[in-house]
């Protein structure tokens, strides 16, 4: 997983069956659920990006017919919004949402925001409604008008850069289930150091997923 290898390549290198590689990877992927920062402070950037919905790795798909390989037909494609929020102290959180609505943003993002934060976003009405309702300071960047920075410090370039890195990283898997996008978040949290398998395991053993494995 540290090498971001596909399942078959990882199974071959570790001399395990493909099903074993699949099972253990999905156990490790649970780690991402526990990496969101507990609080965002100071200047907070928030923005959403869209991912094509994928059910890769699932045997049963109830929502739609299975697409054939190589079919790039955009008609009928479901896009899943991913909300990412970051502060200037390397605090970071992301959420896969069904829709970017006030209710969903309040449920996921609001509990992480300090009362004295300054929220920087694009002109999405959901963010404007959120900040008015909860009396948060809000800086809106109108990218369509070429506005990228306000007062030299208020921008959303950090979160947009995160979106680009995430999408570039995810391309190697040719589609990955959207609930596992947090895999990348571990790398982003640890990008300043050389990682070893023990680093990943040290974080993993603190999760409920590992504790469940121990109990069972």
In tens digits, the chain (216 residues) has pLDDT values of 777 788 899 999 999 999 999 888 877 776 666 667 889 999 999 999 988 766 555 555 555 555 555 555 556 677 888 899 999 988 888 888 889 999 999 999 999 999 899 999 998 999 999 999 999 999 999 877 888 999 999 999 999 998 888 888 777 665 555 556 667 777 776 666 656 777 767 766 665 555 655 565
**pLDDT of amino acid 63:** 58
Closest C-alpha among 184, 46, 49, 158 to residue 113: 46
Q: Which three-class secondary structure state does DSSP give residue 148?
A: coil
**pLDDT of amino acid 207:** 58
Closest C-alpha among 201, 182, 4, 191 to residue 93: 182
- Separation between Cα atoms, residue 186 and residue 34, nearest integer Å: 10
CB 158 within 8 A of CB 149: no
Read off the tokens for 212: 């469940």
- Return the HEC string of 32-82: HHHCCCCCECCEEEEEEEEEECCCCCCCCCCCCCCCCCCCCCCCCCCEEEE
**pLDDT of amino acid 171:** 74
For 185-190, the CB contacts below 8 A with 24+ separation are: 185/32, 185/35, 185/36, 185/92, 185/94, 186/31, 186/32, 186/35, 188/92, 188/162, 189/35, 189/90, 189/92
- Separation between Cα atoms, residue 96 and residue 178, nearest integer Å: 7
> Domain 38-181, what fold?
Nucleotidyltransferase; domain 5 (3.30.420)
Name the packing angle between helices 7-14 and 18-29 (round to 10°): 110
The residues spanned by each domain of the chain are 1-35+192-216, 38-181
**pLDDT of amino acid 196:** 73
Q: Quick one: DSSP state of residue 87? A: E
Read off the tokens for 115: 């009362």
**pLDDT of amino acid 52:** 75
**pLDDT of amino acid 5:** 83
């Amino acid at each position: 997983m540290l090498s971001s290898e596909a399942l078959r390549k990882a199974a071959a290198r570790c001399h395990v069956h493909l099903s074993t590689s699949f099972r253990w990877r999905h156990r490790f992927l649970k780690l991402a659920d526990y990496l969101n920062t507990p609080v965002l402070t100071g200047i907070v950037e928030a923005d959403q990006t869209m991912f094509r919905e994928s059910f890769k790795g699932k045997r049963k798909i109830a929502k739609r017919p299975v697409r054939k390989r190589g079919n790039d037909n955009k008609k009928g494609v479901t896009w899943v919004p991913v909300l990412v929020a970051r502060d200037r102290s390397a605090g970071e959180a992301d959420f896969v949402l069904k829709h970017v609505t006030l209710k969903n943003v309040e449920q996921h993002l609001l509990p992480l925001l300090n009362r004295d934060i300054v929220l920087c976003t694009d002109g999405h009405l959901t963010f404007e409604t959120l900040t008015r309702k909860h009396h948060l300071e809000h800086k809106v960047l109108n990218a369509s008008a070429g506005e990228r920075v306000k007062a030299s410090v208020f921008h959303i370039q950090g979160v947009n850069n995160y979106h680009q890195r995430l999408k570039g990283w995810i391309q190697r898997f040719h589609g990955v289930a959207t609930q596992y996008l947090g895999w990348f978040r571990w790398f982003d949290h640890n990008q300043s150091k050389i990682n070893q398998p023990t680093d990943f395991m040290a974080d993993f053993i603190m999760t409920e997923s590992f504790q469940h494995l121990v109990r069972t």
